[in-house]
Structure 1
Amino acid sequence: MSRPFPPPAFRIGDLVVDPPILQAPMAGFTNAAFRQMVREYGGAGLIATEMVNARGFVWMDENEAEHPERLWGVAEEPRPLAVQIWDNDPETMAKVGRRLVEEYQVSVVDINFGCPVRQVTEKAHSGSYLLRTPGRMFEIISQLVKACAPTPVTAKIRLGCSPDSVNCNEVARVVEEAGAAALTVHGRTAKDMFRGHADWDRISEIKAHLRNIPLIGNGDLDSPEKVVHAFKTYDVDGVMIARACLGRPWLFSQAAAALRGQPIPPEPSLPEQRQCMMHHYDLVKERFGEEKGTILMRKYACCYAQGKYGARHFRTHVANVSSADEFYRIVEEYFPMKTKEEIRAEREAEQAAETRAAETLNAELS
């Protein structure tokens, strides 16, 4: 299928998403520090928080406790900003949605119907568990839409609960009929977790089941070229980048440039990537203090090193750091400073030099 290119901006209610590239909400990762990193590089048309437990929010509010840690920064940071919430009770969701609109002035309230983690699905009967009960989804969405108006409400789903119970087309119709302003679809089932490949053909087929709201595709977008391919090949209005951006907050700016037909900014050098990671660490420490901030930064540091030569060795050492001094020392000693391609090129050059030396020696001996 040939698609319009470059893809136009699209609307979620009255909000214009331009460029049509969204940052996925990811539990444990997309906190205010990470969101600031993404903003500094640019390229994301809409940024999202981690998913917030609606029931936990209500409990904290009733007990006059501090609001959820996952709402850190939300009140002050730039807009547009989406906050994702989850639960299975329509009244609880509506209550929290209204608070987010009135107190935090968020741009979008997103509902998580896609999380496959057992603690959310089997224990709390939320997230992707609700895909088996579209009627319940309708109740949650419709009540939240009323509570949040005029702020738009969106939904994020998977293809279904398992490969033999794919019901994304039916669910998409329910989402729109309930009043949601956009639908995001991750191209795997809940049972798949993150194994295998996202099925973008299935995502694209959903568009025919929607009348007016935009469709956003999500899954396996780890390069600007894949983002371009998604827009050129599949019937989607927007794309959402998830895990691939965790150690590469510059990925959005690269993808946005590719969509504009401009030269794609190169990957930052390894020293620049290390500097980016240290800036990220400073932001985390500023909010959580040295000890907690250092512990929290461990997983981000592993993301920044992923795919580089020596990443495993670095992860082994950084996984146990608990102070700033330790973190700085481990980064200085072990953070990968050569790419796999550079190591390969060095080895090939060494082998070529050894071959030439052997040939020269053989020629002299003969």
Structure 2
Amino acid sequence: MSSSDSRPWPPPPLRIGDLVVDPPILQAPMAGFTNAAFRQVVRDYGGAGLLATEMVNARGFVWLDENTAEHPDRLWGVAEEARPLAVQIWDNDPDTMAKVGLRLAEEYQVSVVDINFGCPVRQVTQKAHSGSYLLREPERMFKIISQLVKACAPTPVTAKIRLGCTRDNVNCNEVARVVEEAGAAALTVHGRTAQDMFTGNADWDRISEIKSHLRNIPLIGNGDLDSAEKVVAAFKNYNVDGVMIARACLGRPWLFAQAAAALRGDPIPPDPTMQQQRECMLNHYRLVVDRFGEEKGTVLMRKYACCYAQGKRGARHFRSHVAKVTTRDDFYRVVDEHFPINAQVD
């Protein structure tokens, strides 16, 4: 744990290349969740300095492009929505990544192109030899980053990693140096190994140690930030320039605003009332259905609805019902009849 005695407070804005991220609180890219509807809900509450898309399969993007198919749903809203906005991409081929990065920078004019070197999911690692699999190949990481940096300039390129592939092979310090030498503008570190998946606790001491291995680029810490108080503690106790909030925000998109207030030294806003949370979820549902239609949108919304209920009394009962909805009428009926009416945990 590092001393905060000499660190400025509140934390200054985060600089990623020429982009100023203020407050220095980022919304994590999360596959299957951080689509345009979710980003809009987060944006309405405020507090997130930089939002991000779901991770986009670069090879799949190229195939769709070459076959004149519609661009991936994971790029829904990107062209039109407010900035700043990061798009995260993944693959293991430098040329493919550079090709997609160029399109994102020039055609979509995104604020940041982020590279996923942290995903631990088997389909990405073992089957595609991408994501956190590449932590064992720093030389390939260097090629991917350096080619992407050249293709995207002046749009900044960033990288997100884990501590290593396994607990016996924690190589984040070496990887951090490679990321910076390749020209990346910032590094985000999730404080677990790929082997850990999402179990156990994030190791913020390990994250903090990485800072001494970076010369100029900012370090962003990620893992287990599920309250405004923990965000404040991350800045005060660890040597990071920014933080990234992930799973905790899925059912609590107001968490960013609470964290931003805490960093300013303002009173932390209370959670919305249960009625307000219910209205937030219904607004989210409307955004999803507007894009995907009633059938697909209703099915897609099931997982979000479960997140909104998580940790509340009656959540399990609500989940058992909402997991079966297929129509708008079904969804509204289940919400009316079963959505938790108070936030007290069972």
Tell me if 1:288 matches 2:299.
no
Tell me if 1:305 matches 2:297.
no
Task: Report the equivalent of 1:264.
Answer: 268
Tell me if 1:213 matches 2:230.
no
User: Quick check: 1:5–1:231 contact (8 Å CA) kept in 2?
Assistant: no
Larger Rg: 1
Task: Report the equivalent of 2:204.
Answer: 200
Q: TM-score, normalised by structure 1?
A: 0.93
- In terms of fraction of residues, the more helix-rich structure is 1
- Give the partner amino acid of 1:100: L
Match of 2:157 among 150, 153, 158: 153
User: Quick check: 1:308–1:338 contact (8 Å CA) kept in 2?
Assistant: yes
Tell me if 1:338 matches 2:342.
yes
User: Quick check: 1:109–1:153 contact (8 Å CA) kept in 2?
Assistant: yes
Task: Report the equivalent of 1:177.
Answer: 181
Q: Deviations over 1:224-263 (max 9, x none)?
A: 0000000000000000000000011100000000000001
Q: Deviations over 1:29-65 (max 9, x none)?
A: 0000000001000000000000000000000011111
Q: Deviations over 1:104-136 (max 9, x none)?
A: 000000000000000000000000000000000
SS state at 2:29 partner: coil
Tell me if 1:144 matches 2:178.
no
Question: 1: distance between equivalents of 2:168 and 2:182?
Answer: 26
SS state at 2:32 partner: coil
Task: Report the equivalent of 1:323.
Answer: 327
Tell me if 1:273 matches 2:277.
yes
- Give the partner amino acid of 1:25: P
Identity %: 83
Question: 2: distance between equivalents of 1:19 and 1:136?
Answer: 33
Tell me if 1:27 matches 2:31.
yes
Question: 1: distance between equivalents of 2:129 and 2:298?
Answer: 33
Tell me if 1:134 matches 2:138.
yes
Match of 2:226 among 219, 222, 226: 222
Write out the 4+ residue segments of structure 1 that deviate beyond 3 Å after TM superposition.
Answer: none
User: Quick check: 1:54–1:96 contact (8 Å CA) kept in 2?
Assistant: yes
SS state at 1:52 partner: strand
Task: Report the equivalent of 2:109.
Answer: 105
Question: 1: distance between equivalents of 2:343 and 2:111?
Answer: 39
Match of 1:9 among 8, 13, 25: 13
User: Quick check: 1:4–1:232 contact (8 Å CA) kept in 2?
Assistant: no
User: Quick check: 1:54–1:93 contact (8 Å CA) kept in 2?
Assistant: yes
Question: 2: distance between equivalents of 1:13 and 1:63?
Answer: 34
CA deviation after TM superposition for structure 1 residue 338, in Å: 1.5
Task: Report the equivalent of 1:246.
Answer: 250
Q: Deviations over 1:331-351 (max 9, x none)?
A: 00100001226x8xxxxxxxx
Task: Report the equivalent of 2:86.
Answer: 82
CA deviation after TM superposition for structure 1 residue 201, in Å: 0.2
Q: How many aligned positions are there?
A: 342
Q: TM-score, normalised by structure 2?
A: 0.98
User: Quick check: 1:11–1:214 contact (8 Å CA) kept in 2?
Assistant: yes
SS state at 1:340 partner: coil
CA deviation after TM superposition for structure 1 residue 4, in Å: 2.6
- Give the partner amino acid of 2:200: G
Question: 1: distance between equivalents of 2:259 and 2:330?
Answer: 35
Question: 2: distance between equivalents of 1:283 and 1:340?
Answer: 28
Question: 2: distance between equivalents of 1:4 and 1:315?
Answer: 44
Task: Report the equivalent of 2:124.
Answer: 120
Q: Deviations over 1:143-198 (max 9, x none)?
A: 00000000000000000001000000000000000000000000000000000000
SS state at 2:78 partner: coil
Aligned CA-pair RMSD: 0.7
Q: Deviations over 1:280-307 (max 9, x none)?
A: 0000000000000000000000000000
Task: Report the equivalent of 1:347.
Answer: none
CA deviation after TM superposition for structure 1 residue 5, in Å: 1.8
Q: Deviations over 1:73-107 (max 9, x none)?
A: 00000000000000000000000000001110000
- Give the partner amino acid of 1:231: F
Question: 2: distance between equivalents of 1:20 and 1:240?
Answer: 9
- Give the partner amino acid of 1:140: I
CA deviation after TM superposition for structure 1 residue 10, in Å: 1.7
